[in-house]
Chain A
């Protein structure tokens, strides 16, 4: 009986030591590494659901958003697939006078990679998608945080479409 109690005590002590070691390792892992926990746990900026954050939008211009500066994703990152690019070009290419899908893609990438400011408004939606509106061309862009473009067009209702996107609940 005493032997069983001793064995149980050893097991409990081993489990406690293991948990303590796992905690120290977990804290030492860089954000984004496998097993490093969620972005929120790692202290990274996460847009609040349903609120949206804007940069370069009047009074909020340059307001501390991690997305307020330019991130150059480059020409290698475009739409998710050539097929998706072709579908968007077919619908919206003429709005920009783009002669080819590649021209249309280059315009979208240029807006995505340009610095946000007074002319180029930017907002992170509640679903994590980043949206931009170019006041000079009237172009709207939505892309994922890895730079993958979701859509690029000139909204029928101009800037008010972009503003409405900020208040979208989904």
Chain B
């Protein structure tokens, strides 16, 4: 069950209704699924990957803006997933959304590492798309 504060936050960020309804638990579970997908060779493309990293960003904002709504058990799960994810990634030359957007959003490699790394072993679609860049 999501708190009203979490629902309000997700709605204000423009999340679709199923994401709003799934609340914090949904975001954490989604992040864990993403880590698992990257572990097994991310099967989709860069557009999907950016969306998955946006989910991690939502978690970060939830932790920063309404920490009282993020229980310790959720924080522990996020930290565990983060540790696993970092081992699966390699630094990118720039923000994966592009440096112009990073500057606009105030993202840095130190604070929002998920926007500055790419999977070491991406699947076929992402590999092809990265080669096209």
Contact = CB atoms under 8 A, between A and B. Distances in A.
Contact of B125 (A84, A90, A153, A158): A84
Interface in B28-72: 30, 37, 43-45, 47-48, 50-52, 54-55, 57-58
Contacts of A167: 98, 100-101, 104
B132 to A, nearest CB: 7
Query: How large, as a class, is the contact surface on chain B?
Result: 20 to 34
A164 B97 contact: yes
| Most-contacted residue by chain B among A153, A167, A170 (CB, 10 A) | A170
A138 B18 CA distance: 11
A103 interface: no
A151 B125 CA distance: 10
B110 interface: no
A156 B23 CA distance: 12
A117 interface: no
A155 B101 contact: no
Contact of B44 (A151, A154, A168): A151
Contact of A153 (B17, B48, B132): B48
A88 B50 CA distance: 15
A19 B61 CA distance: 64
B14 interface: yes
Contact of B47 (A84, A87, A150): A150
Interface magnitude class on chain A? 20 to 34
Nearest to B56: A156
B82 interface: no
A153 B18 contact: no
Interface of B: 13-19, 30, 37, 43-45, 47-48, 50-52, 54-55, 57-58, 94, 97-101, 104, 123, 125, 132-133
Contact of B58 (A150, A156, A159): A156
A127 B98 contact: no
B97 A157 contact: no
B15 A157 contact: yes
Pick the 10 closest A-B CB pairs, nearest first: A158-B14, A169-B98, A138-B16, A87-B43, A154-B16, A170-B133, A156-B55, A156-B54, A151-B47, A157-B54
A155 B54 contact: yes
A157 B100 contact: no
A151 B132 CA distance: 16
Contacts of B133: 127, 170
A95 interface: yes
A91 interface: yes
A140 B44 CA distance: 15
